[in-house]
Amino acid sequence: MAGLREVIETRGLFCSLYSDRGSHFFVTMRAGQKVDPHRLTQVGRALRELGIRMIPAYSPQARGRCERSFSTWQNRLPQELRLAGISDVAAANEFLRERYLGEFNRMFARPPAEQGTAFCRCGRKDLDRVFSIQTERTVAKDNTVAIGDRFWQLNKTPFRRTLAGSTVTICEHLDATVSVQWGPHVVGRFRADGESLEKQTTKRRGKGGSLEAGENQKQVSTGSHTSLEISQTAQDFHFPTAPTAVAGGSKRNGKTKAARAA
C-alpha cells in the first residue's frame, strides 16, 4: 500500500495493475484456480475506490519483463548494500533513493517509442483513508469498538449521544494511527498506543451549559461583546386588556357612572 500510494502521489493515477496472485492482491480459494473477483483484499478495495483495474497473471511468462527485473534486483541489490556497509532498513531506503535508483535507470532505461503518459493527476484528498486497513465493527453498549484484544473508546458526538449498535469502519493507517468512521463522519482518532488524538470537551452541553453559552459569557466578561439594552417598561399588547381594579367600591362605581354619562 505504501508503494502504490507513493506512485499515485508522485506520478498520478494509472488504468490497471498487472500483478501475480499473491494473497495481498487477490483471494484464491484453491491453489492453481482462478481468483475470486467478488472477494476483495485490502489492496483490491483501495484500488477499486480509485477506479484502477486489477489484472491477475496466471503464469510467470505473462509478466516476463517484471520477473527479469526482479531477478536483476535480487542478484545485484544485496551486493550493493553489502559493499556500501548498509545493514538497517532506514539506511537502505536512503541508499535506494539517493544513489541506486539513478544509477539503475541510467544503465537500463530506454526511451519510450511514443511520447506522452498514461498517468493522470489524482485529485483525491483522502489517500490516507483509502490506503488503510479497514475493518467493519459494531459499537458495543459501552460505546467502544474492538479488533481482537485492542479496544478504542469513542467519545460523545455533537449529533448523537452514543453510537452503540451502529456499524463503524476502523481504519488502520500507514503511520500506525487509527481512525473510526461512521458514514462520512470521523468519530475517533487514536495513536498507535490507543491514546485518543482528540481533545476532551469539559463543558456540558444542554440547558445552561452549552459551549455557545460559555463563549458568550467569556465575551461579555472581556468586553468584546456588547450586551443587549432591553427596556424594562411594560409591553404594548395588540389586544385590549381589562382595566385595573381600584380598591374601594365607591370610586370604582363613580368612574363607571361617569363613563356611562360620557
CB atoms within 10 A of CB 151: 12
pLDDT of residue 130: 97
**Longest Cα pair distance anywhere in the chain, in angstroms?**
124
Q: Tell me the average pLDDT across 252-259.
A: 48
What is the pLDDT confidence band of residue 243, given thresholds at 50, 70 and 90? very low
More reliable by pLDDT, 218 or 95: 95
What is the pLDDT confidence band of residue 30, given thresholds at 50, 70 and 90? confident
Condensed to tens digits (0 to 9), the pLDDT of residues 112-154 reads 888 899 999 999 999 999 999 999 999 999 999 999 999 999 9
CB-count burial class (<10 Å; 0-12, 13-18, 19+) for 93: exposed
Tell me the pTM: 0.67
Coil, strand or helix at 217: helix
pLDDT of residue 161: 86
Is the pLDDT confidence value at 202 over 70?
no
- Helix or strand (DSSP H, E) at 251: helix 249-261
pLDDT of residue 250: 45
What is the pLDDT confidence band of residue 248, given thresholds at 50, 70 and 90? very low
